[in-house]
Structure 1
Amino acid sequence: MIPTGKVYLVSGSTDMRKSIDGLSIIVADILDMDPFSESWFIFCNRNRDKLKILFWDTNGFWLYYRRLEKGHFKWPKPDKQGVIHINKQQLSWLLSGLSLNNPKAHHPLYGLEV
């Protein structure tokens, strides 16, 4: 699936034993965000080898789980706000094992005229 809303990384580490209810409580109570929005919320464990993606779709939650057999995700350092907004391209980089700030990537251009 492709995110239709915003994508947020929940900074720091999360206990991967938490399921939909536990993760949605983190989104609602700790981050003060709406877990029923179109946003994707991505959680990572302390070892940075497991991710969970939580999002609401029409009438129920989706929970994706990814475990790396080798290597680590390039998870950013914790943020004071507890959440980091990323775009779809950065999500793809993260899931591919790349840094969120890929210096070799083409950056979007805005305000161009022909």
Structure 2
Amino acid sequence: MKMFVEPADIYLYMDIVDIRKSINGLIVVVEQDMNLKPFRDALFVFCNKKRDKVKILYWDKTGFALWYKRLEKHRFKWPVDANLKQMHMSEQQLQWLLSGYDVIGHQPLHYNASGL
């Protein structure tokens, strides 16, 4: 995902969120549920209950921006861990998530000439 910022950190909120929340509502989730500062150099990634919509909140030094993606037929492979409230992830893991791959335990595909 190309953005106007290159964040130092990416945080995935593990629980579901009401996707109708806009910037102010998601800032409250970052501050109260994630115990993080929303003005930091980071992306905050949220998903709805059906796992077909994602919102990404970030501060771009002049204001907050909100990125939104809705899948038409599939669901995001959202990681689940009852012990974690949030997950720190790499930019590559975010790319995998947005492309439909499982972020946890994702292994790249390797092909050889014989097709095996």
TM-score between both structures, scaled by the size of structure 1:
0.86
Q: Is the 8 A contact 1:3 1:88 kept in 2?
A: no
Q: How does 1:32-43 map to 2 (within 5 A)?
A: 32-43=35-46
Q: How does 1:12-51 map to 2 (within 5 A)?
A: 12-51=15-54
Q: Structure 2 unaligned runs (5+)? A: 111-116
Q: Which runs of 4+ in 1 moved over 4 A?
A: none
Query: Which residue of the partner structure matches residue 106 of structure 2?
Result: 102
Q: Aligned Cα RMSD in Å?
A: 1.6
Name the SS of the counterpart of 1:85 in structure 2. Answer: strand
Query: Which residue of the partner structure matches residue 113 of structure 2?
Result: none
Q: Deviations over 1:82-113 (max 9, x none)?
A: 1101100000000000011312269xxxxxxx
Q: How does 1:1-114 map to 2 (within 5 A)?
A: 1=3, 3-100=6-103, 101-104=105-108
The number of equivalent residue pairs is: 106
Name the SS of the counterpart of 1:25 in structure 2. Answer: helix
Percent identity, aligned pairs only, is 44
C-alpha distance in 2, partners of 1:61/1:28? 14
Q: Structure 1 unaligned runs (5+)? A: 107-114
